[in-house]
Amino acid sequence: MVSTGGTPVDVVVGPDGTAYIGGYDGPGGVLVIPPGEPGPTRRITTGPNVAGLALAPDGTLYVAQQQGGSVGGAEIGVVPPGAAAVARTIPVSRGNHLIAAGPDGTVYVPNPENKTVLVLAAGGTAVDHVIGVGAGPVEVAVGADGTAYVVNQIEGTVSIVPAGQTAASHTIPTGTVAGTTENPHGIAVAPDGTVYVTNISTNKVAVIGTGADRVGYTIYVPGGPTEAALGPDGTLYVSSVLTEGISVIKPGSRTVDSTIPTEGRPGHLAVAPDGSIIAATPGTGLGNGSVSRYAPPAPASAPAGPAGPGLGNGTGVGNAVGNSAGPSPWSSPGVVAGAGGVAVIVVAALVLLLGRRRSLRADGADGDLTAEQASA
C-alpha cells in the first residue's frame, strides 16, 4: 500500500520506469517509486500544493507548486536529477498548472486566467516568453518533433505551437459545433503526431491525424473522459470522471476495446516503459486519494489469465479482467492521511478558478456533470 500523506493529482514516469507522484495537500512533496519497488523509497521536498509535474529528458523534474507563504502565488520548482529537494524556483502566474516538457527540455506552463502559455527555456531561470492561446488552457502535450499542443477548455479548441516558435500557428476545434465547447481537457500525442483529446461533456475522444487541421473522427468513451495516456505499443488509455475504470483503446480501433477496473475514479494517468499503467485517484473527499499501478491488458491472441489480487486487500492491485501475467503491481487503495485541503482534479480546479460552477452535460445516462462531480 502506497500512502502519499495527501491527495495525488499528477504522475509522471521516467524512461527507466521510475514514477513520480505529486501531492496536492497534506505534506506535499513528490513521492519517488523506482521500478520494481513495492512503494516509494523517498520523498522529494517541494513547496505546498503540487499541481503538476514535468520530467525533462536530462532527468530534471519540474514541479508546479504554490509559493511558500504567498497567498495565490505560484512557481515552478526545479529538481536536479537525483536531488532530494527543489534547488531553485521560477515565479509564474497563479493557478493550478498542469505542465509539460518537450524533447529539448523546454517547459510549457498553461495560464487559465490569462489565455496564455508561459515558456521556460531548458535550464532557464525565468519565463522566456509568453504565447497567447485560447480561453481556458488547461493541459499541454508535446510531440516528438517539439510541437506543443495546448487544450483550451473554455474555447473548445487545441492551439498548435510549432517547435521553437513564439506564437501558435493555428487552432483546431475539438467539438462538432463551431463557437461552442465540449470541454476538452486531457491530451496525448503519439510518436507519429496523432493527437487524442478528451471531450468531457460529450463522452468523446477527438482524434486529430498527423498534420491535420481538423478532427478526423471521435471515439465514444462513457463517463466524461478527462485524461489520456499512450502506451509504448500505441494503446490509448482514458480515465473518466464518472467511471471506476480505465478505458483501453487499441491502436487503430475506433471503439473502447476493454476496461481495466479500478477502485475509485482515476484521474491522471502515466504509462511506464514496461506498459504498466499508473493512475492517480484524487478521491471523493478530504485525504482519501490513492495511487495504483495496473498491468496492461493481454494481447487478444493470448490466453486469458487469472485476475490479479483485488484492490484493497493489502496484497496489491487487481489486473484488468482477462489479463495474463504481467508486471507485479502496487497500489494505495486505502485512505490517504491528508493534513488539509480537499481532493481535487484539475477539471474542478479550473472550473473553480474561473468561477464557472456550471453543469457539464454528458450524453446518455450519465446525466449532468457538475463541477462538484468533476472533483470526485
Over residues 16-36, the mean pLDDT reads 88
Contact status, residue 30 vs residue 22, Cβ threshold 8 Å: yes
* pLDDT band with cut points at 50, 70 and 90 for residue 239: very high
The grid coordinates of residue 67 equal 509559493
* pLDDT band with cut points at 50, 70 and 90 for residue 24: confident
From the centroid of its chain, how far is CA 188? 9
Closest CA to 130 of 162, 167, 83: 167
Bridge partners of 20, per DSSP, are 12, 32
* pLDDT band with cut points at 50, 70 and 90 for residue 178: confident
Say whether 374 sits in a helix, a strand or coil. helix
pLDDT digits over 118-141, tens only?
Answer: 999 999 999 999 999 999 999 999
* pLDDT band with cut points at 50, 70 and 90 for residue 5: low
pLDDT at 336 over 80: no
Q: What is the CA radius of gyration of the chain?
A: 19
pLDDT digits over 148-175, tens only?
Answer: 999 999 999 999 999 999 999 999 999 9
Instruction: Give the DSSP letter of residue 367.
Output: -
pLDDT digits over 345-366, tens only?
Answer: 333 333 323 333 333 333 333 3
pLDDT digits over 262-292, tens only?
Answer: 878 899 999 999 999 999 988 665 566 778 8
Instruction: Give the DSSP letter of residue 331.
Output: B
Over residues 228-233, the mean pLDDT reads 97
Contact status, residue 265 vs residue 224, Cβ threshold 8 Å: no
Length of the chain: 376
* Per-residue model confidence (pLDDT) at position 4: 58
DSSP states of 294-313: EPPPPPTTSPP----PPTTS
Over residues 293-297, the mean pLDDT reads 90
Task: Find where cell 489480487 sits.
Answer: 309
CA distance 240 to 243: 5
Residue 71: burial class (beta carbons within 10 Å; 0-12, 13-18, 19+): exposed
pLDDT at 196 over 60: yes
CB neighbourhood size of 45 (10 A): 15
Which segment, 93-97, 218-222, 265-269, 301-305, is predicted with the most confidence on average? 218-222
CA angle 268, 19, 252 (to 5 degrees): 55
Say whether 55 sits in a helix, a strand or coil. strand
* Per-residue model confidence (pLDDT) at position 347: 35
Helix and strand numbers, DSSP H then E, in the chain: 2, 29
Predicted TM-score (pTM) above 0.85? no
CB neighbourhood size of 347 (10 A): 26
Ramachandran class of 223: left when φ > 0, alpha when ψ lies in -120 to 50, beta otherwise: left
Ramachandran class of 123: left when φ > 0, alpha when ψ lies in -120 to 50, beta otherwise: left
Strand 360-361 with 290-294, pairing: unpaired
Strand 19-23 with 30-33, pairing: antiparallel
* Per-residue model confidence (pLDDT) at position 2: 61
Closest CA to 354 of 111, 127, 178: 111
pLDDT digits over 200-226, tens only?
Answer: 999 999 999 999 999 999 999 999 999
* Per-residue model confidence (pLDDT) at position 287: 63
* Per-residue model confidence (pLDDT) at position 288: 67
User: Could you give the percent of the chain with pLDDT greater than 90?
Assistant: 61
CA distance 269 to 278: 6
* Per-residue model confidence (pLDDT) at position 264: 81
* Per-residue model confidence (pLDDT) at position 286: 59
Instruction: Give the DSSP letter of residue 146.
Output: S
**Phi (first) and psi of residue 222, to 5 degrees:** -70, 160
CA distance 303 to 292: 25
pLDDT at 85 over 70: yes
* Per-residue model confidence (pLDDT) at position 284: 63
Question: Who contacts 135 (Cβ-Cβ below 8 Å, separation ≥6)?
Answer: 115, 152, 153, 154, 155
Closest CA to 196 of 171, 226, 176, 224: 226
Mean pLDDT of the chain: 80
